[in-house]
Amino acid sequence: MSSHKDTFDDRRNAAAEAKKKLLERFRAQPPADDPAVLARLAAQKLQGEARMKREAEAASRAEEKAAAAAAAKAAEVARKIREAEDAAQAIVDAKRAAAALLVEQKAARDARYAARKKRR
């Protein structure tokens, strides 16, 4: 058999008592137009506004940080492009110098050949 000695009436009375206590707790709350409630709501509103302001500032700082990172990356890319252009220009200058040297060597060789021919 059951070890509970509660009857249906006992359970019904306990439920009614619980409902009474819940109703008393609800009635004990101050009304919505009570100055204490209004002050608490105003404080909550101020806290919410302050939180929104902090979040907006944090988002702004994050955007500024991202913009600074993008600018730094752009500057780095521009520097690498300048270095690549300088390297390409150095290669072009070296090839021109080599070509000029070859032309100069050929002219000297031709002059020696012409002088040798003239002596014969």
Question: Does residue 63 sit within a domain?
Answer: yes
Q: Is the pTM of this model over 0.85?
A: no
Question: Does residue 99 sit within a domain?
Answer: yes
Reference 41, options 50, 33, 52; nearest CA is 33
| Residues ≥6 apart with Cβ < 8 Å to 14 | 6
Question: Does residue 1 sit within a domain?
Answer: no
Structural domain containing residue 52: 8-119
pLDDT at 1: 43
Are 30 and 37 in contact, with CB atoms under 8 Å apart? yes
Are 82 and 90 in contact, with CB atoms under 8 Å apart? no
| pLDDT over 70 percentage in the chain | 97
Considering its fold, how many domains does the chain have in total? Answer: 1
The pLDDT tens digits of the residues spanning 32-69 come to 888 888 999 999 999 999 999 999 999 999 999 999 99
Question: Does residue 33 sit within a domain?
Answer: yes
Question: Does residue 45 sit within a domain?
Answer: yes
